[in-house]
Amino acid sequence: MDSQWEGSIPDHPYLPSVSKSVYILGCKYDSLDDREEIARHLKSRLWMTYRKGFSPIGSRNGPKSDAGWGCMHRCGQMILAEAMLRFHLG
C-alpha cells in the first residue's frame, strides 16, 4: 500500500449506478464507464477534513471542533494545496 488512504474507497459506492457525467477539476467522466479513473483521480488529490478534539479556542468554553465554521478553512486549504501541486508538480 503506497499511502494511508489507498484502498479506503470500497467499490466506489459514492458514484451513481446510472450513467451520469461526473466532473472533477474540469475533467469529465462517465459514472459507469470511468469508475476506476474517477477513483484514481480522487485518490490523487490531497484530503482536507474537519478536525475535533483540539484545545478550546479563545477560552475554556471556546469551540473544540471546526464543524459548522471550518468549511472556509477547508476551501482555502484545498485551493492552496491544488495550486501548490500544479505549480511544483505540473
pLDDT score for 13: 72
Percent of the chain, pLDDT > 70? 87
Clarify whether residues 1 and 38 are in a common domain. Answer: yes
pLDDT digits (tens, 9 = 90+) for 57-90: 889 998 888 887 888 888 898 899 999 998 998 7
Clarify whether residues 62 and 25 are in a common domain. Answer: no
Clarify whether residues 21 and 35 are in a common domain. Answer: yes
Domain-terminating residue out of 9, 30, 45: 45
Range of the domain at 11: 1-45
Pair 15, 1: CB distance under 8 Å = no
Q: What is the dihedral of CA 39, 43, 49, 53, to 10 degrees?
A: 110
* Tally of residues, the chain: 90
Residue with cell 475533467: 27
Clarify whether residues 57 and 82 are in a common domain. Answer: yes
Mean pLDDT of 26-48: 88
Clarify whether residues 57 and 86 are in a common domain. Answer: yes
Q: Does this model's pTM top 0.75?
A: no
